[in-house]
Structure 1
Amino acid sequence: MNTPTFTQPTTPESCFGVIAEHAQSLGFSYCTFGLRLPLPITQPRTVYYSNYPQAWQARYHEAGYLEVDPTVHHGMRSSTPIVWSDAVFAEVPQLWEEAQSHGLRHGWAQSRRDPEGIFSMLVLARTDPPIDADELAANEQRMQWLVHWAHTTMKAVCDDTGMKPQSVVLSPREIEVLRWTAEGKTASEIATILDVSERTVNFHVNSVVAKLDASNKTNAAVRAALLGLIW
């Protein structure tokens, strides 16, 4: 497969413009791309771009379809591509009927989650014709490339605009302490496991709490896990 060449985007908007151009070259009139950062936990920062019909975008938001969209649920659990079908939308027939009424009848979606905990999802859609196995086989490499390119490039331009949080570096001992904290161990128990003093454990806990801008050690462990810092 030949890698496409083009001017590297410098903004989220120009990045989505390139995504839309490639979607068009693959035979899809519509596309949508979303990227979600792992923090803040309750209201993670997101970027979302779509060239779906405006009426459908408004209806999708108004009806809260994001919460019940089976393709989104699938993407959160698996990075395996999914093709729209009656079976996929069987439990949300109203969403499916309305989407088709707006010309969104055939689609393909795939998500990606990187080691930093950053999640993205690309959806390609069109009115006709249906997506068949031959088309998927012929375009698989290009579609996979686009999923990867969209994720890494959008993440990079978000970093350039200050949206992406600064990287946090933890020491090996801090990671060890956080791992055991995430397992529910107390400072005393961790001290015994690591054969260090409880004071030393608390020193490392306080350090990671400060580095991760966390409210306590539990919050620090959750943030570290979401950021891919402990595994």
Structure 2
Amino acid sequence: MIDFTADMSSLVLPDGRSIRGPLGSEDDIKRVLNQVSEAYGFRGFMVLAIPDTGCHSLAAQALLTTWASEFLRRYDSAGLIDGSPVIQRLRRSTIPFTYDAHQLARRRLDGKGEAAISVFEHANMPRGVYLPVHDAAGHRAAIAFGGDRPVVSNDELQALNLLAGLVYSRLTEVRPRDRRGPGSLSRREIECLRWAAAGKTTIEMARIMALSEYTVNHYLNRATRKLDSVNRVQTVAKAMRAGLIN
């Protein structure tokens, strides 16, 4: 097995630190990506499976992320993925690139430019980078960093691209292989997801279902694990795509 930790520990981040510790789990990888994000002045990261043309949800494609669930909800509610210049570019190119929400808005052909600006500005992520990556089987993804820092330099972009490739290669090794299918969801888990999709809060769901808030959260968290999701928004999106809720 390749020692990815050794490969990355020789790379010094802008804050003077180097990457330390094991990379034996998704939590380790999330820690490293957080460290990289903070060192470069971003607000967060997202590991994104490149969506095909039939996918209409960004949340459903997020493999690992610290981008706020509210951002993902607003993005998907506005239907921004279909006409996204970023998604279109990721589908056809493997070259890393920077993004600026204001510039990208002018390139949208669906009239949703202002909506896109609003979503990214609301999350304080108007600028960032997308770094295309792939695994040994050729499956494509991207690691994105977003924030409100100035545009990254070419040297920063190349350094981030190298880090992204190393981290993603390790992620594909440690990511759980025993993902359970949607058929394993219980009746209560599906019921909670239906109410979540309807916009109900945990408190409201607890009242409707005559359960405690703790129990509702337990069902939702269990559904999130079963669907191999990173947050409630992605869980709802996956359940909808699987036809479990509508």
Q: In which range does the TM-score fall when normalised by the shorter chain?
A: 0.5 to 0.7
Q: Is the CA contact 1:37–1:117 (under 8 Å) kept in the aligned structure 2?
A: no
Q: Of the candidates 134, 138, 145, which is equivalent to residue 162 of structure 2? A: 145
Q: CA RMSD in A?
A: 2.8
Residue equivalent to 1:106? 127
How far residue 36 of structure 1 moved from its aligned partner, in angstroms, is 6.3
Residue 114 of structure 1 and its aligned partner are, at CA, apart by 4.3
Aligned to 2:70: 55
Name the CA shift for 1:29/1:47 in 2 (closer, same or farther; >3 Å). Answer: closer
Question: What is the match of residue 39 of structure 2?
Answer: 25
Q: Which amino acid aligns with 1:101?
A: H
- Alignment match, 2:14: none
Residue identity matched to 1:162: R
- 1:123 aligned to 2:144? yes
1:154-173 → structure 2 map (5 Å cutoff): 154-158=171-175, 161-162=176-177
Question: Within 2, Cα distance between the matches of 1:72 and 1:102?
Answer: 19
1:119 and 1:144 map into 2 onto residues whose CA distance is 14
Q: CA shift at 1:17, angstroms? A: 2.3
Distance 1:37 1:12 in 2: 21
The residue aligned with 2:97 is 82
Counterpart of 2:161, as a letter, is Q
The CA deviation string for residues 128-182 of structure 1, in whole angstroms up to 9 with x for no partner, is: x321xxx413423421222212220111112xx2259xxxxxxxxxxxxxxxxxx
Question: 1:68 maps to what in 2?
Answer: 83
Distance 1:48 1:102, change over 3 A: same
Query: How far 1:54 sits from its partner (Å)?
Result: 2.9
Correspondence list, 1:195-214, <5 A: none
CA distance in 2, matches of 1:8, 1:35: 24
- Name structure 2 gaps, 5 residues minimum: 1-7, 12-17, 53-59, 180-246
Q: CA deviation at 1:5?
A: 3.9
Contact 2:19 2:32 in 1 (8 A): no
Tell me, what secondary structure is at the counterpart of 2:121?
helix
Q: Is the 8 A contact 2:50 2:91 kept in 1?
A: no
Alignment pair present for 1:34 and 2:48: yes
* Alpha-carbon distance in 2 for matches of 1:77, 1:87: 20
Give the share of equivalent positions with the same residue, in percent. Answer: 12
Are the counterparts in 2 of residues 31 and 122 from structure 1 also a CA contact under 8 Å?
A: yes
The offset of 1:63, in angstroms, is 3.1
Structure 1, unmatched stretches of 5+, are 39-44, 165-231
Contact 1:99 1:105 in 2 (8 A): yes
Label 1:62 to 1:151 Cα distance change in 2 as closer, same or farther (>3 A): same
How many residue pairs get aligned? The number is 152
* Farther off after superposition, 54-63 or 116-125: 54-63
TM-score, length-normalised on structure 1?
A: 0.56
Separation of aligned partners in 2, 1:130 and 1:37: 28
- Write the letter of the residue equivalent to 1:87: Q
In structure 1, C-alpha distance between the alignment counterparts of 2:64 and 2:155, rounded to whole Å: 27
Check the 8 A contact 2:50/2:142 in 1, yes or no: no
SS at match of 1:109: strand
Kept in 2: contact 1:122–1:147 (CA 8 A): yes
* Greater C-alpha radius of gyration: 1
Q: Residue by residue, what CA displacement relative to the aligned partner does 1:170-196 show, whole Å, maximum 9, x if unpaired? A: xxxxxxxxxxxxxxxxxxxxxxxxxxx
